Amino acid sequence: MYRWETTRAALAQRVLAIVRSDSYDHATATADTLLSAGITSLEISLTTPFALEAVTTLIREVGDDAVIGAGTVLDGASARMAVDAGARFLVSPSLDPEVIRTGHRYGLPVFPGISTPTEAVRAMELGADALKLFPAAAFGPRWIKDVRAALPQAAFVPTGGVTVADAPDWIAAGAVACGMGSALSEGDRDTVAKRASELLARLADAGPPLEDAGPERY
């Protein structure tokens, strides 16, 4: 896939599920629960023990049925290891040019972390495929609306403190997707499946489909 195709696929449901755990087994079990619930895009945080092995395992198991990426990618070395593990995209809580360069060198989209308009512009200048607003809870949906008035080309993915209740508000404010961790994955399979189904329906109603948003939005 081209980078823009992977980006579109990763953000198509308007939710990017984040798996961060204290063990490989728990991470893969959480990922399996999310995938079974109908989530088609998730990132495995590199803070998880044996995270890259989890990425490789999940990609082997799901094939093209889901888009699996690596999160908390802090530097070029980690980015290259994620590439070698088979990650389809890279996400970072910070803005590191080498992460973007490494991802792009091997055809992967990169969603770096930003928290100011200046960082957003810098990230776009470096070629970021989407912008992870982090931590989103410190700002609120109005931030997206206000900043996009000046930067309508910015594709924001608020992450960090986004809840099932307020995720549609972020989309309505102009975000292309929301990053969500435990707020989405807590509970047994039935609970997660019901929550995911309701969330996906609400997110779809909160804004236009990505294919209608213009090429600058993905």
The two structure tokens encoding residue 26: 């728990």
Catalytic residue list contains 145 = no
What dihedral angle (degrees, nearest 10) is formed by the CA atoms of 160, 163, 164, 166? -110
Find the catalytic residue in 132, 145, 186, 216: 132
Give the helix/strand (H/E) hosting 48: none
- Longest Cα–Cα distance of the chain, Å, equals 44
Strands 15-19 and 41-45 turn out to be parallel
Please state, as a whole number, how many other Cβ atoms lie within 10 Å of the Cβ of residue 185. 23
Q: Which of these is catalytic: 5, 43, 119, 186?
A: 43
| 194 classed as catalytic | no
* Catalytic machinery residues: 43, 132
